[in-house]
Amino acid sequence: MRMSAEERRESVVRAAMVEFARGGYRGTSTEAIARRVGVSQPYLFRLFPNKQAIFEAAAEHCIEETWRAFDRASEGLTGEAACEAMGEAYLGLIADREQVMMQMQIYVSVFAAESVGDNEIGEIARAGWFRLFERIRDRLGDRVSATEFMAHGMLINTLVALGYPAGHELWEGFAELNRRRDGEG
């Protein structure tokens, strides 16, 4: 069965997420993405105008995938109940190391691009990240809760990226924060 161009684009974006997660923007070739999808490089460029467009689509997909996980987990919930549900969903989402590494590559790629005067990737990444923040803020009910949630997520990303195992004392800080928040100590 043949895929439509839209289905093929989606398959390229998913493959690009894996390749960019592993190699970053600069270290990933469009040839590697095309090979992962099973298409020729010229066909890849019929779907996307350039490597940057592929990266931007992969970054957007990564951010949207994160929101979809949060949205499904916290549907119908608000406040602390939504926070807990989204937190659990995030722990499930980061079990896919490539998802977390793609998030990290987005940040690194923005920093690297902007250090040489290329602001386009940064603008797109910031817009997506802010959209995610706004959705979280709406679900949790206030900016402070959303900021705290995102800050915890960034710490989790760092722990995962650095390879700290789940039982490490740095992870245990989350349980202690939850106990304090719940007034248990």
- Cα separation, 21 vs 178, in Å, equals 31
- Cα separation, 15 vs 172, in Å, equals 34
Reading the block at residue 47, the tokens are 């779907």
pLDDT in tens, 148-172: 999 999 988 888 888 888 888 888 8
Residue boundaries of the structural domains of the chain:
56-181
pLDDT in tens, 123-146: 888 999 999 999 999 999 999 999
- Cα separation, 86 vs 92, in Å, equals 10
- Cα separation, 18 vs 101, in Å, equals 9
Residue ranges of the chain with pLDDT lower than 50?
A: none
Do residues 30 and 41 lie in contact, with contact meaning Cβ atoms separated by under 8 Å? Answer: yes
Q: How much is the pLDDT for 185?
A: 55
